[in-house]
């Protein structure tokens, strides 16, 4: 599979006037394959935005190698950037211009015409307010405009840094659907976020970084199933009696909220239901004890709370 983004041994230090430099990224390795939505997860200050800025040539890497669309960056950025749409943090547009004027202005650099501008505005739901000055836009509308700008080039790769950060729930849902649609069109979306549930719902693949280091990377399903415990969650009207029965049956049982966690692989579900039914207890709920991305994140980063 072709790699859309390759990062090898990326290190970024910010020098300070006094004292030792701040290391934002410690030898990061990352590969983003072609197609799908790739989630780039990490808490605030973990190095996500710095990595993206390195990829886009906005900051110079202290060490390591980066390549986008198979070409080394930043050396070949002027060539490959025409196939990349990007937003970094909250995109800054020119406030005294309208949304349409902003996009037409940027489009003029790459010879993009008004038809494409209209299409991009429509895609992000800004067509009806395209003639308002950007300074009157809310943060969410500015974010959408940034996304419209990123789509303007009809990009093969979208690099989006926290694109849903300031959107309301309806806006987040729209953008999620849009990203899935763009992915279905064959584009690769590289999505940086600290909204774990959002990434879980949107992304096919995920990489988690913290303190400038890659902690984990892979397909979301694989990552979650690898992290899942071999246990089942059991719901009963009388959980205490149920726990007794299961323990007498030789199983490890512990309470998990209103449910019981039974240390058994999912294939043993029938054994549990038989034991309980023989004791006159009926199961109201029975499911594998899956792990959410949020739990996994907290587990591997050792943090007590989800970021932000």
Interface residues with another protein (CB under 8 A) are 14, 50, 53, 56-60, 74, 77-78, 81, 86-97, 101, 105-106, 108-111, 146, 149
Question: Closer to another protein at the Cβ: 56 or 214?
Answer: 56
**What interhelical angle do 239-248 and 269-278 show, nearest 10?**
110
Closest CA to 272 of 292, 257, 294, 289: 289
Helix (H, G, I), strand (E, B) or coil at 96: coil
Say what angle helices 114-123 and 139-151 make with each other, to 10 degrees: 130
* Cis bond before residue 74 (omega within 30° of 0): yes
- Give me the residue label for tokens 């096919």: 204
Which residues does 306 contact at the CB level (< 8 Å), separation at least 6?
A: 196, 294, 297, 298
The nearest distance, CB 153 to another protein, in angstroms, is 9
CB 25 within 8 A of CB 93: no
Which three-class secondary structure state does DSSP give residue 32?
Answer: strand
Sorted by sequence, the CB contacts under 8 Å of residue 122 that are 6+ apart come out as none
Cα 276–281–287 angle (5° rounding)? 65
Cβ atoms of 67 and 6 within 8 Å: the answer is yes
């Amino acid at each position: 599979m072709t790699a859309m983004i390759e990062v090898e041994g990326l290190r970024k230090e910010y020098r300070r006037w006094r004292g030792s430099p701040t290391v934002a990224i410690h030898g990061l390795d990352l590969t983003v394959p072609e197609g799908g939505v790739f989630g780039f997860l990490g808490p605030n200050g973990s190095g996500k935005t710095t990595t993206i800025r390195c990829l886009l040539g906005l900051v110079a890497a202290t060490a390591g190698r980066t390549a986008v669309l198979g070409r080394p960056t930043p050396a070949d950025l002027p060539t490959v950037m025409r196939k990349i749409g990007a937003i970094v943090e909250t995109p800054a547009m020119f406030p005294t211009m309208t949304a349409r004027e902003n996009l037409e202005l940027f489009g003029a650099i790459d010879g993009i015409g008004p038809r494409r501008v209209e299409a991009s505005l429509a895609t992000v739901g800004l067509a009806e307010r395209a003639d308002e000055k950007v300074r009157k836009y809310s943060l969410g509308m500015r974010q959408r405009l940034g996304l419209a700008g990123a789509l303007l080039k009809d990009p093969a790769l979208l690099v989006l840094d926290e694109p849903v950060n300031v959107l309301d729930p309806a806006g987040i849902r729209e953008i999620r659907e849009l990203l899935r649609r763009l992915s279905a069109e064959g584009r690769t979306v590289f999505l940086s976020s600290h909204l774990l549930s959002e990434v879980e719902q949107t992304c096919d693949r995920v990489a988690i970084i913290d303190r400038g280091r890659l902690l984990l990377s892979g397909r979301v399903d694989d990552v979650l199933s690898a992290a899942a415990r071999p246990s089942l969650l059991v719901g009963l009207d009388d959980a205490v009696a149920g726990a007794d029965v299961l323990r007498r049956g030789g199983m490890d049982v512990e309470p998990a909220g209103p449910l019981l966690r039974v240390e058994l692989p999912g294939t043993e579900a029938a054994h549990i239901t038989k034991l309980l039914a023989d004791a006159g207890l009926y199961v109201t709920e029975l499911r594998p004890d899956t792990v959410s991305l949020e739990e996994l994140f907290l587990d591997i980063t050792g943090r007590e709370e989800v970021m932000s």
